[in-house]
A and B are shown apart, each in its own frame.
Chain A
Amino acid sequence: MSSSSGGSVFDVVHRAARSDPAVVFIGSDIAPGLLSDMKRELPDQFFMEGIQEQHLIGMAAGLALEGLRPVVSTIATFLTRRCFEQVLIDAGLHRLPITLLGTGPGLAYAALGPTHCSVDDFALMRAVPGMHVLSPSCMGEANLLLEESLARRYLAYLRVPRGNEASLPAGSGSAAIGVPITLRQGSDAVIICTGGLAGEAGAAAARLAIDSIDAGVVHVHTVKPLSPASLLPLIAGVRLVVTIEEHLRSGGLGTAILEMLADARSEMPAVMRLGLPDEFVAGYGTHEQALTAAGLTAEGIANAVRGWCQR
């Protein structure tokens, strides 16, 4: 993908549908104004269906078997938990080009409680053979990843970022599926982040520098498939790898990185996985408050790394 696209991932869907009649959008009872322009312009390619996630994934599979390329969207928890078997069998087993856009990434809906916090979606979607698990840092990056995924006819799950921030993480002019983005070089430790935590990771590295801890930052927007060929050189020689994610500590990015390191049979750095404990999300408040409580802010990350270095 050569250039950033304006608007949100939904605008990307609209543009893709305009240029290819095989692209269809299926929403599950989401906001009334969403893609109203597309609904008007391309009514045959727009479905706003009911609260029936299991059915909608099956329906998307049926459409895809007839040559269409459905993009299905609803709140991330419902899109990954409620219809997991349909995603696995209808979409995955049949290797269909279906895109899942999950809104409300990680702790974004903290105020709405554990039913709405998507903190196990990486684990669930990673378990689907052939699934691409995409966790962009901002809408601009999400748009690029979605364009590429649609063009390549991937089966993909994408965590839709909050807000319509279009600027890509510092130091990167583009985003390509599978290619990690180095945001900062570091020789002592490397912080591997995903989703909207790139900014916190960068700020944590800046704090650590004050304490003479040289920490790099790598943003991994493609949680699956990881690219060992790209990632291993970025962490070669460091003593500590820190993974941060708005997800359970088990089953997500940190787990994937550990598996990659074990499979690589290279010298194993210490790995610290920052994320959420094996508990249901508790407490409400803002997204920021939830991140603070989880230790997923610059201060929390820096404290954790500092603690490890001083032990």
Chain B
Amino acid sequence: MDALVTAGGGHVGPSLSCVEILSSLYDGAARHRPDEPDWPDRDRIILSKGHGCAALYAVLAEHGYFGLEALSTLCARDSLLGGHPERHLVPGVEFSTGSLGHGLSVGVGMALALRRRGSQSRVFVILGDGELGEGSVWEAIMSAAHHHLANLCVLIDRNGLQSSGPTAEVLDVEPLADKLRAFGCAVRSADGHDTRLLSAQLGLIPFDGSRPSAIICVTTKGRGVGLAENEAAWHYRGSFSDSEIAEMRRSLDLLGGGRLPE
């Protein structure tokens, strides 16, 4: 949040909804080495909803992929950290995303290649629920199931809100679990903000030895910042008013983690 405030705007809601999904992966479920981002045996993590990258940057920095001070450069002209993550700039970023509906196909390709060489590495792809409107996502899910990619896990940030309003009103994705099952995934749901539950679910993958796993992570967009929670207008903010910054600071202070700049 420091970074977003310093940047003067950004994708607040979509970042806050996927923080715990990312931290559950990087804090335990995923095998990775911050000092060796290209470690061949790492698990691959693709944030297909690239606009949530402020959360990814924070988690990567916390794990030492780069210095925490880089966060304050978010979206600055010469920063490595842009408004969407780029692989060739940011250590730990597996794939440059920003245009929705790309990440899962790339994950399928990685999972195929990893299986072919007998690797134990898994591929985790984080999708937004609004992103599920992209047809390419469903092409990829069909393909993942067709190829029995048990080494692939799809995590859906089911925050129920997209840029213009609730997904139920804009493009209803329900019945989501049934759809994913019908497309060949082994599906579970979890509270996407409960890292203990999420980690437990992630510890159980593959849910089925011959199918891709999917976890519907039920989340709240803007989680933790009262005025942003479940507010479509907080999907992307071009700027913050002083009172908004003060309110964000109050919210994060309540969570005990706020360090917003004065």
A residues at B contact (CB < 8 Å): 44, 49-50, 52, 54-68, 85-86, 89-90, 93-95
Contacts and interface: CB of A to CB of B under 8 A. Distances in A.
A54 B110 contact: no
Contacts of B135: 54
25 contacts: A50-B139, A50-B142, A52-B142, A52-B143, A56-B105, A58-B109, A58-B136, A59-B105, A59-B109, A59-B143, A61-B105, A62-B113, A65-B106, A65-B110, A66-B114, A86-B105, A89-B96, A89-B98, A90-B102, A90-B106, A93-B86, A93-B96, A94-B95, A94-B96, A95-B88
Given A50-B142, A50-B143, A52-B139, A90 B113 contact: no
Nearest to A52: B139
Interface residues of B, number: 30
Contact of A89 (B99, B109, B111): B99
A44 B118 CA distance: 12
Given A62-B109, A63-B113, 11 more contacts: A50-B139, A50-B146, A52-B139, A54-B101, A55-B136, A59-B105, A62-B110, A65-B94, A89-B102, A94-B88, A94-B95
A130 to B, nearest CB: 13
A68 B109 CA distance: 10
Interface of B: 86-88, 94-96, 98-99, 101-102, 104-114, 116-117, 135-136, 139-140, 142-143, 146
A68 B116 CA distance: 11
Given A50-B142, A62-B107, A68-B113, A86 B102 contact: yes
Most buried by B among A59, A60, A65: A59
A94 B105 CA distance: 14
A61 B108 CA distance: 10
Contacts of B113: 62-63, 65-68
A71 to B, nearest CB: 14
